């Protein structure tokens, strides 16, 4: 149940977020790695089996892990143990954690999101919720929630758009009939602008929690413009370096 196990899990399963954490100060890494390892375990739970019931059971196991955090009954698991410590130390919201897990039930089934509001809520409960948890883990005040969640939603939209080809290859329908990829990307840019207008509410000490969104703006702008070319690795990492050095997002 070590921090290194969580870091290794993120390194192997979520390399872009791993780079974001490694760009953060060591003290921040100690809190971000358990949270991101938990998110990875939850996100991949619906995909490790073709049996919906087993996938539901895997998600319920994580919901039980979160619920037990209140009593301190940590499970003997390489991620659950460090997660429990983080929940207690940072007083993370069990409700936000639970909604993050519950939202992943959509990934189990093959139906599209019922409508645009359902897709919006999915991104809110997964990406926006995760970024708010990360910010709280680094001491963000309640007054920063609006800005952090808006940025997290934009980052989640960018990540979702990047995942669409894989979703379609696995038989999922990413968009309801009333929404296109370009429209979702534009909504993400609108949320990004909203977050930046309220940026002053987010203290610099919690900026490492937002490094996970380092590719957001470029991805969203590319989709809106209908571009499919990928940025070079040098350009990608340059964006992360700039954000980590300046603290601006």
Burial class of residue 218, CB neighbours in 10 A (0-12, 13-18, 19+): middle
Tokens describing residue 195: 């977050």
Tokens describing residue 164: 């669409």
pLDDT of 26: 95
**pTM for this prediction:** 0.94
DSSP state of 180: -
CB of 104 closer than 8 Å to CB of 126:
yes
pLDDT of 69: 80
pLDDT of 2: 80
Per-residue model confidence as pLDDT tens for the chain (249 residues): 588 999 999 999 999 999 999 999 999 999 999 999 999 999 999 999 989 999 999 999 999 999 988 666 556 688 999 999 999 999 999 999 999 999 999 999 989 999 999 999 999 999 999 999 999 999 999 999 999 999 999 999 999 999 999 999 999 999 999 899 999 999 999 999 999 999 999 999 999 999 999 999 999 999 999 987 676 776 778 888 889 988 888
């Amino acid at each position: 149940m070590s921090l290194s196990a969580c870091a290794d899990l993120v390194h192997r399963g979520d390399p872009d977020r791993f780079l974001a954490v490694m760009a953060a100060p060591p003290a921040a890494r100690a809190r971000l790695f358990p949270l991101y390892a938990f998110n990875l375990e939850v996100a991949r739970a619906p995909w490790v089996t073709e049996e919906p019931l087993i996938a539901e059971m895997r998600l319920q196991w994580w919901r039980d892990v979160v619920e037990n955090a209140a009593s301190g009954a940590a499970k003997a698991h390489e991620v659950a143990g460090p997660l429990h410590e983080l929940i207690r130390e940072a007083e993370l919201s069990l409700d936000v954690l639970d909604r993050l897990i519950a939202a992943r039930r959509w990934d189990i089934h093959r139906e599209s999101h019922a409508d645009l509001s359902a897709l919006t809520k999915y991104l809110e409960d997964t990406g926006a919720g995760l970024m708010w948890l990360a910010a709280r883990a680094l001491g963000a005040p309640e007054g920063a929630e609006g800005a952090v969640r808006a940025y997290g939603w934009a980052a989640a939209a960018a990540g979702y758009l990047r995942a669409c080809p894989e979703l379609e290859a696995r038989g999922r329908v990413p968009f309801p009939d009333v929404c296109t990829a370009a429209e979702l990307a534009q909504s993400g840019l609108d949320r990004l602008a909203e977050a930046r207008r309220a940026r002053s509410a987010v203290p610099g000490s919690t900026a490492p929690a937002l490094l996970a969104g380092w590719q957001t703006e470029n991805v969203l702008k590319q989709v809106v413009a209908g571009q499919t070319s990928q940025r070079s690795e040098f350009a990608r990492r340059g964006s992360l370096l700039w954000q980590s050095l300046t603290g601006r997002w």
